[in-house]
């Protein structure tokens, strides 16, 4: 039998190197602030944050796999649980929950009640269209793409816009089968 991966990230979180939470929050804030200055358009900032998250995600997945000992997930449901319970705990120190499954098990919501990225943050009137935490959706998309799942990640609820929680909607578009990468004539 394949070893069963951990169902909670607590033990891993206790062992990995951590940074001061406030330093982390403020650094992220500074990045968003700088992007707003540089790109001017809120839409562009959303896009840029998502791209940055994607670039993080495609690297982060290897660290996640190496440290968590998760070998494989049976289905997308398990994947979502592992992201919420192990992934978020390991890298952000919080635990998320998974809800709102659709009938065929390809779309769900990851709900974050506690989000260290938004401490001290208030959106000014000029930035109402900003998805402040858009980097997170990029991370999830990038990480899942590396394990051959094409996904679409969008924000359904955002505390900075007056909702009671953060809710990320994750939709599985396609599972890409492994193919032989070389052509015959090469």
Partner 1 sequence: MQFFGGSEISPSPPAPTATGNNAHMIYVFNRNGVCLLYREWNRPLRTLNSQQDHKLMFGLLFSLKSLTAKMDPIGADKGNLGVPQLPGQGCSFHSFRTNTYKLSFMESPSGVKIILVTHPRTSDLRESLKYIYNLYVEYVVKNPLYTPGSPIRCELFNTTLDQYVRGIA
Residues binding partner 1 (CB under 8 A):
58-59, 61-63, 65-67, 70-73, 146-148, 175-182, 186
CB of 130 to partner 1, least distance (A): 26
| Residue with smaller CB distance to partner 1, 5 or 114 | 5
Shortest CB 100 distance to partner 1, Å: 25
The structure tokens listed for 145 are: 């793409």
| Beta carbon of residue 121, minimum distance to partner 1 (angstroms, whole number) | 26
Q: Whose Cβ is closer to partner 1: residue 8's or residue 71's?
A: 71
What is the rounded distance in angstroms from the CA atom of residue 34 to the CA atom of residue 28?
A: 10
The minimum distance between CB 131 and partner 1, in angstroms, equals: 25
| Closer CB to partner 1, 25 or 175, in the complex | 175
Count CA atoms within 13 Å of residue 75 on its CB side.
Answer: 6
Residues 28 and 92: beta-carbon distance below 8 Å: no
User: Residue 81 in contact with residue 68, Cβ under 8 Å?
Assistant: no
């Amino acid at each position: 039998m394949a070893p069963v991966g951990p169902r909670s990230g607590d033990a891993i979180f206790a062992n990995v190197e951590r940074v001061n939470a406030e330093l982390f929050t403020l650094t992220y804030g500074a990045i968003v602030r700088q992007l707003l200055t540089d790109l001017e358009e809120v839409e562009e900032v959303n896009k840029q944050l998502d791209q940055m998250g994607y670039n993080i995600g495609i690297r982060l997945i290897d660290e996640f796999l190496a440290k968590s000992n998760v070998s494989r997930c049976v289905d997308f449901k398990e994947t979502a649980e592992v992201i919420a319970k192990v992934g978020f705990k390991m890298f952000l120190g919080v635990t998320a929950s998974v809800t709102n499954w659709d009938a065929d098990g390809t779309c769900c919501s990851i709900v974050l009640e506690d989000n260290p990225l938004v401490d001290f943050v208030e959106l000014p009137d000029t930035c109402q269209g900003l998805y402040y935490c858009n980097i997170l959706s990029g991370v999830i998309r990038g990480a899942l793409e590396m394990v051959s799942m094409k996904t679409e990640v969008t924000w359904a609820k955002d505390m900075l816009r007056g909702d009671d929680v953060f809710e990320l909607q994750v939709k599985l578009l396609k599972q890409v089968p492994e193919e032989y990468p070389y052509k015959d004539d090469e």
